[in-house]
Structure 1
Amino acid sequence: MARHALPGNTRRALLGAGLTVSMAGAALGIASSAAQAEEISVPHALAGAVGPVKGLQVDPLANTGVDPLDNGVGTSVGGFKPVSTTAVTDTVTRGAKIGELPGVALLSPLLPG
């Protein structure tokens, strides 16, 4: 008898049995991977995850001719020292990594990796 000719109840029963076997296999796979995950030390895993992130460049277009962040506005009023936005954006536009940013640099030694 061809598969398409199976009665509706038989087809439903086979489909249910297949789903049950699939779910049991998935549950066993999850249980075994959870048991293996306990063996890995958490600091080692954290260092592996955070370490590469600290070295990422914040502005991928830094040091190129098309960097939209490589602009600034400055002003000078009276005898006061001139003020410019490039003092804030210079770190990013010259290709600083995440760990080199002023706020993050203070916390960087506390992060593993």
Structure 2
Amino acid sequence: MQWYHAPNTREETSVDLDAFRQMVTKHPKGFLGRYGLGHKLIQEGGNLEEAVEHLTVATQLDPTHVASHLHLGRTLISLGRKNEARPVLQAGIDASRSGRSNGGGDLVPEMEALLRTLG
């Protein structure tokens, strides 16, 4: 049984993006749709400002989801918004260390490294 299907074509990938957009439309306060859409936009080289919007909402809906903080922080850095990235990355580190998150400890070293590069 195959559990995961990697998209082979741009058309298959865009269906996933459309599915996340539909999720956000139907449930604007749903974490999964917001995180999924933001992450998918980054993966596909889509609109990074839109990705920031969705990932920001995702971190507000679930402040303990460490990966949301990492993806948002990385994206803010790539957009030159370093001052905004610092507290986002620190919040992800704090969430992981607080014991409130469902994992994400493996992402802490990358977030710490990103913070060091920001000075």
Superposition TM-score, scaled by structure 2 size: 0.19
Which one has a bigger Cα radius of gyration? 1
- The higher relative CO (CA closer than 8 Å, separation ≥ 6) is in 1
